Amino acid sequence: MERPGFFMLSSDSSLLVITMAGYLLFTGFQAYYYMIQTSRYLHNIKSQSQRTTQLQKQLFKALCIQAFIPVLAFIAPCLYIQISTALHYVDMILGNISMIWLTTHGIISTTTMLIVHKPYREAVLGMVKCKKSVTNAPSQNNSLVKL
């Protein structure tokens, strides 16, 4: 492609697909490894109270849900972009829908956080209702995730 002032790193899409697939595999294995190691550590720890261990497990599950839902929401548009790039298939409507879907990351992450963690959920509901949020006692269960 000969255009002055236009730079293209490569016209071969296989390099992009291989690079992105390698990156996704590397980060996926890394996330899986750390999730398993953290889970093992939390289940094998014996030097603290049972209540502290229960709260740590509950927080870990809530954080896993909070991280997993946005990732799950992005699998379809990312796969579409990867496959269409590899096959040199261009559909502007589906490409634009995929990009719009990917830009919803902030709202999906925020909504997930508000649903999973009870203190955040109560504070936002209190603001929406124009009431003061109710403060919970420290011994109460403050998360949607149960053990």
In sequence order, the 6+-apart residues with CB closer than 8 A to the CB of 38 are: 60
Q: Which helix (H) or strand (E) holds 110?
A: helix 105-116
Residue 19: how many CB atoms within 10 A of its CB?
10
Single pTM value for the model? 0.62
**Average pLDDT estimate for 79-101:** 87
- The reported pLDDT for the residue numbered 53 is 82
For the cut 90, the answer to whether the pLDDT of residue 141 exceeds it is no
Write the pLDDT tens digit of every residue in 6-61.
Answer: 666 667 777 777 888 898 899 989 989 998 998 888 888 777 788 888 888 888 88
Write the pLDDT tens digit of every residue in 47-66.
Answer: 778 888 888 888 888 988 98
For the cut 80, the answer to whether the pLDDT of residue 124 exceeds it is yes
For the cut 90, the answer to whether the pLDDT of residue 3 exceeds it is no
Across the chain, mean pLDDT equals 82
Phi, psi of 41 (to 5 degrees): -60, -45
